[in-house]
Structure 1
């Protein structure tokens, strides 16, 4: 039996694919390459030393889903094919609701038609919105403050209704915090097609002289050093959380909503300083104005995942920075 990964060549999807393969699972990948590269499929094949079925296409395409489910013995689906730019979601909300909500509905309908009821959803801590208390636990009220977060929450609500309507469904909705880092082979990592949405690619671009400096958006927050604090998690810890979630839904039906984070917030300045110490690279920076919608601080309570999944994040911020930089060096060497 195989696991279908939609968006499986993206940053998170590719690392989950690698982790699943390392644990002996077979994977099938569907990706429309809107924010990923087809070359990642080849890197995954080299890592696992076997061919991986890859379909270039959109999760909203019923025909390609029917082909995949007919040709492959799919036991479960992990759904990563979501757009994730908060800023873009504000300027083009229809695109985000069409892709993130509409795509999820199309995928679930296709699964139901083919008798597949195990599903892992790539959700986000953005569903919580402005903290009423910290750390966020899974019972914290949900009130997202941007269209991207609302698409994730609407998809979660659909999954909750689906699990109640049909007891065959076994669903894990995993709320991510801030994944960074790279696979220990340094052959796959975070490589956005266009302007990055996250801090680490910008740091890498400054360290590799692709950008002259890093802009820090605001240094007057009510935090320990005035810059925003986030819960950064190594992408391989996150990937291993998905393998644990797969074990859970294989034995336990219903909806399981879980935070995947470290429970430890780090500021932007701490991230920069840790990166500089870990890599020996200097990161020039300038202070810019706050970005609209940015929260001063948020981080996870991951106690539920520790109990239910028998999983917890183990890798340090230093390891996250080192692996991200080594991936960047490896990537540069391939394109010289």
Structure 2
């Protein structure tokens, strides 16, 4: 099977390629606007916004995995979310049809549901609160309309929650780094549940879908259970690292005021900062999602959530 991964030079894509390459029956090609530091020999440089380039690069493909996305909280201009995440979907579908490719795995996001929702399932209302979530939902709607006119296609949508693991430099790493360096302060009470996905499990699930879900139109939330509260996450991290965790809690309103202050500072300096009002809001929100469908599909996660946390901390902080 010839697999083309669009946007595979990043964190998830690099680990996915490493996993899929272990199978002699899978031939992997990475298509990305940036070179892959780990797999340059498998990478062709092309932008998801360039339909003609995608048409050239997808020749001979049997299946496409679409990972390419604008996902940071501070992307400017905000139109990039829609250019890459929505128009990029249209361009990918056009290039696939041009080459007779009818199998797609698309990594969307639980951001389509919005914040502080009561454990949403795949069928829950979509109320994204930021440009990333809105653009991911718009991309899904493009794909849904396409599927209605292409009933013979095999389309799988995976909506992971926040992904963490070795080599990641996202919000979870920032939190762990603050704890490891003694710079952590809890905002709010810390009782909010935080669904997370370990990268070793999410790439294994993508491989499972690739091999086992070869027909139909399927949508899956992906979450590793059980859901930790922020207090649980801090406790486990401190225990694994052998760090004393501060017990001082900053009120939510004060944390948000600080976040707005950093927003102003980022605007004035034109720099991207690790603290913002959006990140404070996300840190304090309940982000709990239902993954019953994925976990009853026959897939068995190779790692527990705590084991994934331990593996990341060992790799990043030598513990």
Q: TM-score range by the shorter chain?
A: 0.7 to 0.9
1:141 and 2:142 aligned: no
1:232 and 2:216 aligned: no
Q: Secondary structure at the match of 1:259?
A: strand
In structure 1, C-alpha distance between the alignment counterparts of 2:195 and 2:38, rounded to whole Å:
27
Correspondence for 2:234 = 272
Deviation at 1:82?
A: 0.4
Please show how residues 112-123 of structure 1 align to structure 2 within 5 Å: 112-123=97-108
In structure 1, C-alpha distance between the alignment counterparts of 2:296 and 2:9, rounded to whole Å:
30
1:214 and 2:214 aligned: no
Contact 2:55 2:96 in 1 (8 A): no
Deviation at 1:205?
A: 6.3
Name the CA shift for 1:79/1:286 in 2 (closer, same or farther; >3 Å). Answer: farther
Stretch deviating more after TM superposition (265-274 or 113-122):
265-274
1:299 and 2:288 aligned: yes
Contact 1:263 1:301 in 2 (8 A): no
Deviation at 1:173?
A: 0.7
Name the CA shift for 1:121/1:215 in 2 (closer, same or farther; >3 Å). Answer: farther
- Aligned counterpart in structure 1 of residue 211 of structure 2, from 247, 254, 275: 247
Q: Secondary structure at the match of 1:74?
A: coil
Deviation at 1:56?
A: 2.7
Correspondence for 2:91 = 106
Deviation at 1:329?
A: 5.0
- Aligned counterpart in structure 1 of residue 114 of structure 2, from 117, 121, 129: 129
Contact 1:137 1:302 in 2 (8 A): yes
Q: Secondary structure at the match of 1:28?
A: strand
Name the CA shift for 1:131/1:219 in 2 (closer, same or farther; >3 Å). Answer: closer
Correspondence for 1:19 = 19
Q: Give the length in aligned residue pairs.
A: 290
Q: Flag as ranges the 4+ runs of structure 1 deviating above 6 A.
A: 283-286
Deviation at 1:112?
A: 0.8
Deviation at 1:213?
A: 1.2
Name the CA shift for 1:103/1:74 in 2 (closer, same or farther; >3 Å). Answer: same
Give unpaired runs (5+ residues) of structure 2.
257-276
Cα displacement string for residues 190-234 of structure 1 (whole angstroms, at most 9, x for unaligned residues): 1x4xxx4x1224423663x5xx61354x214xxxxx354211221
Deviation at 1:314?
A: 4.9
Contact 2:158 2:220 in 1 (8 A): yes
Deviation at 1:144?
A: 0.7
Q: Secondary structure at the match of 1:27?
A: strand
Deviation at 1:287?
A: 5.2
Name the CA shift for 1:5/1:283 in 2 (closer, same or farther; >3 Å). Answer: farther
1:31 and 2:32 aligned: yes
Please show how residues 307-318 of structure 1 align to structure 2 within 5 Å: 307-308=296-297, 310-318=298-306
Deviation at 1:160?
A: 0.9
Deviation at 1:284?
A: 6.4
Deviation at 1:298?
A: 2.4
Please show how residues 168-183 of structure 1 align to structure 2 within 5 Å: 168-182=152-166
Give unpaired runs (5+ residues) of structure 1.
43-51, 183-188, 221-225, 331-336
Contact 1:214 1:285 in 2 (8 A): no
